[in-house]
Amino acid sequence: MSITDKSTDSTTDIRADWIAVDWGTSRMRAWAMSADGKVLASTSSDKGMGSLAPDQFEDALLADIGQWLSPGQRTRVVACGMVGARQGWVDVPYKAVPCAPAGQLMAAPVTDAHIDVRLCPGLKQLAPADVMRGEETQVAGLLAARPGFTGVVCLPGTHSKWVRVQDGQITAFQTFMTGELYALLAEKSVLRHSIAPHGWDAPAFAAAIETAVDTPAAVSARLFSLRAEALLADLAPETARARLSGYLIGLELAAARPYWGGQPVAIIGATALGQHYATALQLLAARSEIHDGEALTLQGLHAAYQQLSGD
């Protein structure tokens, strides 16, 4: 199944066979879909889970997708992400690993007869304790695109995930707060005076990766040196940005070595951040390939839709 984006700014004439939704904490994205998985139109808004009470989700959804619904018909909506969290529309229980990334979907309570909303479950790991919501749908998409895939998946982001996949199941995973730590240090700490919001220094990033992987205990002191060097030697803010990223990604890779050591990694996220992870892994003599995150989300949601259609 291939995803073909036929989205258009004029969506009033679009009628969806079904609707895919990726509903995160801060944003909601929706796609009008054909039965065979082609994108007919798309939309996004800032109506994330974190800004809505449980009784507000239906109205927020209808405001964005109402133009795709057919009069007199019920359209199925398949949603993944934080919409199924405890603070979301309805608390969808986690599935325990090892398990297939796609699982039994839960119906959300709706009053409008034009929609049938089903929410994807997240995954949990008891020891060490860990959870995910949304990323499992992208892994399901990877398995739909590459049946038989066995190996390691990396999902960079605010909370990066490292996932082991074998025989169609997620067997283990680990979360790192790398992206959130970067945001806190770059925007809230004393380093905010020294870190540029844009720009890059590739050699500085590479050196910081090496430092963090080889001597992770030294990183705390190296972090403050970013501020000191800016004061004493006019360290370029772009260089400081690259070093900070390298130190934090390097710490993550040092701890995640049992995942990526000795085997190729599928990185989900064709973004600048995904490329930084690929570069870092290459510096450590590890192989990786980058996959488009949105495409895999849609493939995972389509797999869930097909599962429902076969019930």
The 10s digit of each residue's pLDDT in 194-225 is 999 999 999 999 999 999 999 999 999 999 99
Measured at the alpha carbon of residue 53, what is the angle toward residues 92 and 57, in degrees to the nearest 5?
A: 70
Give 161's strand partners: 155, 175
For 26-68, the pLDDT digits (tens) are 999 999 999 999 999 999 999 999 999 999 999 999 999 999 9
Q: Are 163 and 221 in contact (CB under 8 A)?
A: no
Which letter does DSSP use for residue 272 in this model?
H
User: Using CA atoms, how far apart are residues 83 and 86, in angstroms rounded to an integer?
Assistant: 9
Q: Provide the CATH number for the domain around residue 186.
A: 3.30.420.310
Taking residues 136-141, report their average pLDDT. 97
* Residue type (1 letter), 193: H
- Same domain membership, residue 166 and residue 116: no
Where in the sequence is the domain holding 166, given as residue range(s)? 134-311
Q: Provide the CATH number for the domain around residue 9.
A: 3.30.420.300
Q: Give the residue among 154, 197, 195, 161 at the shortest CA–CA distance from 177.
A: 161
Supply 93's token pair: 């229980």
Asked if the structure places residue 125 within a domain, the reply is no
- Same domain membership, residue 251 and residue 289: yes
- What is the enclosing helix (H) or strand (E) of 187? helix 178-187
User: Using CA atoms, how far apart are residues 40 and 264, in angstroms rounded to an integer?
Assistant: 34
- Same domain membership, residue 156 and residue 58: no
- Cβ-proximal residues to 185 (8 Å cutoff; 6+ apart), any chain: 191, 195, 223, 244, 248
User: DSSP states of 6-65 as a string?
Assistant: ---S--TT---SEEEEEE-SS-EEEEEE-TTS-EEEEEEES--GGG--GGGHHHHHHHHH
Q: Answer yes or no: pTM beyond 0.85.
A: yes
Domain count, the chain: 2
For 277-297, the pLDDT digits (tens) are 999 999 999 999 999 999 999
Which letter does DSSP use for residue 99 in this model?
B
- Same domain membership, residue 88 and residue 192: no
- Same domain membership, residue 158 and residue 253: yes
Question: Using 50, 70 and 90 to split pLDDT, how confident is the model at 5?
Answer: very low
- Same domain membership, residue 145 and residue 82: no
Which of 91, 120, 149 is the C-terminal boundary of a domain? 120
